[in-house]
Structure 1
Amino acid sequence: DSRRKFIWEEMSYLERWWRDPSTTDVMKDTFINLVQNGQLEIVGGGWVMNDEANSHYYAIIEQIIMPDIWWLIVEL
């Protein structure tokens, strides 16, 4: 149903799913299509959800940059 929408926050779980040997190319292509047609939106985009426990600015920046590096490696 193309009216349904889903948001994804924590990139660390996405990376684990992507690397899992049981994740097929068809599943990855489906994921990419869902992102491209707006049914799946990546919000925040941090490695983990940023919260008050991550109180030092370096840790906040690092957890936001890590997924960007992963995206470059995966070449999406």
Structure 2
Amino acid sequence: PFPAITYTPTGALRTALLNRAGAWPRDPMDIRLLESIADDVISSASPSTNPAGDGLLPPYSGAPPAAPLDTDNDGMPDAWEIARG
């Protein structure tokens, strides 16, 4: 059998999130995100921005990073092949 599933009532969600969600000790990103829950305010900042300077290192550019060099196109990066012979 499967373990029982417990649900948090809607009215208790804010308290549950503020007291149990995120990393402990709180890092700057958790603090910023949970402040919006505590203040009942949704940030208008774009998800691709970092207003608090607390994450997204290196800064999000809006594009994926460049693929590693693979001169023989076998799917294995050249650096990996060179390092492992």
Tell me which interval the TM-score lies in, with the shorter structure as reference length.
under 0.3
Q: Which has the higher contact order (CA 8 A, sep 6+)?
A: 1
TM-score, scaled relative to structure 2: 0.24
- Specify which structure has the higher proportion of strand: 1
- Specify which structure has the higher proportion of helix: 1
